[in-house]
Chains A and B, each alone.
Chain A
């Protein structure tokens, strides 16, 4: 056992965590920007 599989598991796990977090936050950012624009039009 050289540990190569474990290294791959680490990179895949951390990529998933970072990827999901960044996707979620960017999605929320777009949603809030659009909502803010709508509210500005309303005001």
Chain B
């Protein structure tokens, strides 16, 4: 396994600083939205973390998907490590989205959840898949059968990613539509866009740091386990 230990702390530090700066700019620098068009105009400020959290969670699910393919194609430990990291990161950032969305919904719509909205429900299902995978990995004995079953769930669960991403375009219901592509309907203030992109870049850097951190944890566990086996073998001789 490659040594990524030197990248862990710098990436996490830069990511955290950028994420905090994003929140400060989002609150105190980004302009307010039209108070006549929104029921709770100040609540919109959650987007500076809510949207980047969602984008980063898609990266996590992509790692889970690629890891599942690697696991099936090569039966490599690297593939399985990608599955475990992808599902844990998917759960972490997915929870961030699933928690922040309903708080905004309660303020803006008057209800925290809409069971008829496709994006809300497919995204919740995606996070539930990540939760199921993380809990299964912690509760089931590690072996080929367990890995096969969980990698299959990761593989097919990824289908929910494009459905979730396109849901507001195809079946737009309550969830606001795509906000980055410039149209007459979604014209976005340049300051809002700037803070949103800073949030996205910062969370991606933090995500890279957390992936490296988890990768090193797996690497260290393997090294310790190998050394313990070696000590056991030597003591048996």
What residues make up the interface of A, taking CB atoms closer than 8 Å to B?
A: 1-4, 6-7, 9-11, 13-15, 17-18, 21-22, 25-26, 28-29, 32-33, 35-36, 39-40, 42-43
Contacts and interface: CB of A to CB of B under 8 A. Distances in A.
A36 B220 CA distance: 7
**A-B pairs, 4 with minimum CB distance:** A3-B43, A3-B40, A2-B42, A3-B107
B220 A1 contact: no
In the complex, which range does the number of interface residues on chain B fall in? 35 or more
SS of A interface (majority): helix
B123 interface: no
A36 B100 CA distance: 39
Contact of B106 (A6, A15, A25, A43): A6
Given A25-B210, A25-B213, A29-B213, A17 B99 contact: yes
Contact of A14 (B96, B106, B220, B228): B96
Contacts of A32: 217, 220-221, 224
Contacts of A28: 217
Contact of A29 (B8, B42, B46, B53): B8
B205 interface: no
23 contacts: A1-B40, A2-B41, A6-B46, A6-B104, A6-B107, A7-B104, A10-B50, A13-B100, A14-B53, A18-B96, A21-B210, A22-B210, A26-B12, A29-B213, A29-B216, A32-B221, A32-B224, A33-B220, A35-B220, A36-B220, A36-B227, A42-B227, A42-B231
B166 interface: no
B96 A17 contact: yes
A26 B216 CA distance: 11
Interface in B183-237: 206, 210, 213-214, 216-217, 220-221, 223-224, 227-228, 230-231
Contact of B224 (A3, A6, A10, A39): A39
A14 B228 CA distance: 38
B8 to A, nearest CB: 7
Nearest to A28: B217
Contacts of A7: 27, 42-46, 104
B92 A17 contact: yes
Nearest to A14: B96
A42 B229 CA distance: 12
A35 B224 contact: yes
A3 B49 contact: no
Contact of B40 (A2, A13, A18, A21): A2
B210 A11 contact: no
A38 to B, nearest CB: 9
Contacts of A22: 12, 16, 210
